[in-house]
Amino acid sequence: MKNIIKYGVPALAATAIASPAFAQEAAADAVGGGTAYILNTLLFLMGGFLVMWMAAGFAMLEAGLVRAKNTSTQCLKNIGLYSIAGLMFWVIGYNIAYPGFDGPGLFGMAGTIYPMQGVGEADLETGYSVASDWFFQMVFCATTASIVSGTLAERIKIVPFFIFVTVLTGIIYPVVVSWEWGGGYLDAAWGFSDFAGSTLVHSTGGWAALVGALILGPRLGRYGADGSINVFPGTNIPLATLGTFILWLGWFGFNGASQLAMGTVGDVSDVSKIFVNTNMAAAAGVVVAIIATQLRYGKADVTMALNGALAGLVAITAEPLAPTVGHSIIIGAVGGLLPVIFVPILDKLKIDDVVGAIPVHLVAGIWGTLIVPWTGDATFVGQLVGVLLTMVWVSVASGIVWFILKATIGLRPSAEVETAGLDIHEIGVEAYPGLANQN
């Protein structure tokens, strides 16, 4: 994603001029400034509603992969976190994310609360409606919180979860964004490159989830004292499949609209290339996951295929424009292999990740970030610094919040509640009352 606060998308005057490469055809492909403004804004709105839709994707993926007795809780957590993310990104997050650094800053904050222009007015100086950009950035913030929700499912009380989400979306995530898209330390000092957020969004969510899983511990009975591993199969595979398709669809907005402009022929062509590369990385992830599980287990595990799609998508997110289609297929294929490798490793380490979010969002996010120099404009060292700094900040900040919550209101329900399922005690609404016990 381009840094829109610092560098801005081309202002009205500039967008009216053809890109240099086609200077001699300026008369043919020039786009007026007002038209470019509308098209840039439209890209944010379309990207925004597609990424908003990803909140439903996470909800369905997670609802499908938890057990029936915790499904209502997972539904509530997902609609709740999306709502909290929106409110917090308005109250404070956006200002932290885009503080107007004048150099390699680490922490800063702009103005007060997000303002909107009056009715009928436009933000002519930026070349797009700031409200549309705010909407687009907000849904990214919500995505980060969704990742945490999946890993920690089935064993965290909703109140501490929502409090964590409040801090994550209001402060922890926006600080990471400020370093790169806000023009801060990683961007200014290291030339760190993360087009649509393999690190900023997906690894941030992944680190917060990993630290949470370590502090929270696994679900009761998940890992036997004798070293045995008990699989708790998800209740509703079609819902998980639906969730994956929703996420795939939403990713066209996630990556495509991170071009941040479609007011020139070059920009809209780039958005098109991003669509193709994003799709092909996911497709490669699916095929590799199917082949790998078929070869390893003699069965093509559908949950691995779903995670393969998502890992391919996460991997291509750091640089979905510069690669050729061939590059994208390779980047996505490696991504799709990562859950097949890391899901068993996490189990050996007794880290209980209910939906596989850590391999998909954290591990594939790191992979996608570190491979950017292969095709894009970045250095391996710069990328590594970005990965490590994000790790340190998110782990420490999340750890502090998780520990405070654990020490005060507590994170886990009682063993009785966890065994009976959180739905009855936390929500009071069972997820599938008419199915298990036909009325």
Of 71-110, binders to a copy of itself (CB under 8 A) are 71-73, 75-76, 78-80, 82-84, 86-87, 90
Q: Which stretch binds a copy of itself (CB under 8 A): 290-298, 356-364, 365-373, 387-395?
A: 290-298
Task: Give the count of beta carbons closer than 10 Å to the beta carbon of residue 111.
Answer: 11
Between 52 and 389, whose beta carbon lies closer to a copy of itself?
A: 52
CB of 209 to a copy of itself, least distance (A): 21
- How far is 365 from 213, CA to CA, in rounded Å? 18
Q: Is 430 one of the binding residues for a copy of itself (CB under 8 A)?
A: yes
Using a 10 angstrom Cβ sphere, with 0-12 exposed, 13-18 middle and 19 or more buried, the burial of residue 8 is middle
Q: Interior CA angle at 90 toward 84 and 96, to 5°? A: 110
Of 113-172, binders to a copy of itself (CB under 8 A) are 113-114, 116-117, 119-124, 129-132, 134-135, 138, 158-159, 162
Of 176-195, binders to a copy of itself (CB under 8 A) are none
- How far is 426 from 421, CA to CA, in rounded Å? 9
Select the residue interacting with a copy of itself from 28, 103, 225, 226 (CB under 8 A). Answer: 28
Between 138 and 292, whose beta carbon lies closer to a copy of itself?
A: 138
Interface pattern 354-383 for a copy of itself (x via CB under 8 A): ------------------------------
Of 329-348, binders to a copy of itself (CB under 8 A) are 329
CB of 171 to a copy of itself, least distance (A): 18
Select the residue interacting with a copy of itself from 16, 334, 366, 378 (CB under 8 A). Answer: 16
Q: Residue 371, SS3?
A: coil
Between 277 and 390, whose beta carbon lies closer to a copy of itself?
A: 277
Q: Residue 229, SS3?
A: strand
Evaluate the CA torsion angle 297, 302, 308, 314 in order and state its sign: negative
Our separate counts of H helices and E strands in the chain read 21, 0
Q: Which stretch binds a copy of itself (CB under 8 A): 174-182, 191-199, 398-406, 430-438?
A: 430-438
Cβ-based neighbours of 424, under 8 Å, separated by 6 or more: 69, 430
Strand partners, 272: none
Q: Which stretch binds a copy of itself (CB under 8 A): 103-111, 292-300, 379-387, 393-401?
A: 292-300
Q: Interior CA angle at 97 toward 93 and 98, to 5°? A: 120
Between 95 and 129, whose beta carbon lies closer to a copy of itself?
A: 129
Select the residue interacting with a copy of itself from 4, 9, 33, 314 (CB under 8 A). Answer: 33
Selection from 15, 266, 17 nearest residue 125 by Cα: 15
Size of residue set near a copy of itself by CB under 8 A: 140
Of 39-68, binders to a copy of itself (CB under 8 A) are 39, 41-42, 44-46, 48-50, 52-53, 55-56, 59-60, 63-64, 67-68
Q: Measure CA 106 to chain center.
A: 22
Of 260-289, binders to a copy of itself (CB under 8 A) are 262-266, 268-273, 275-276, 279-280, 282-284, 286-287
CB of 393 to a copy of itself, least distance (A): 26
Residue with tokens 């298990």: 436
CB of 214 to a copy of itself, least distance (A): 26
Evaluate the CA torsion angle 166, 96, 147, 143 in order and state its sign: positive
Select the residue interacting with a copy of itself from 6, 22, 374, 404 (CB under 8 A). Answer: 22
Between 111 and 433, whose beta carbon lies closer to a copy of itself?
A: 433
Between 52 and 362, whose beta carbon lies closer to a copy of itself?
A: 52
Of 210-249, binders to a copy of itself (CB under 8 A) are 233-242, 244-246, 248-249
Q: How far is CA 39 from CA 5, 19, 22, 257, 263, in A?
A: 18, 16, 20, 11, 5
Between 224 and 233, whose beta carbon lies closer to a copy of itself?
A: 233
Cβ-based neighbours of 141, under 8 Å, separated by 6 or more: 85, 86, 88, 89, 93, 97, 169, 173, 174
**What does 242-278 look like in DSSP terms, one character per residue?**
HHHHHHHHHHHHHHHGGG---SSHHHHHHHHHHHHHH
- How far is 27 from 178, CA to CA, in rounded Å? 39
Between 415 and 429, whose beta carbon lies closer to a copy of itself?
A: 429
CB of 77 to a copy of itself, least distance (A): 9
Of 386-425, binders to a copy of itself (CB under 8 A) are 425
Select the residue interacting with a copy of itself from 186, 208, 321, 338 (CB under 8 A). Answer: 321
Q: How far is CA 86 from CA 3, 55, 119, in A?
A: 21, 12, 22
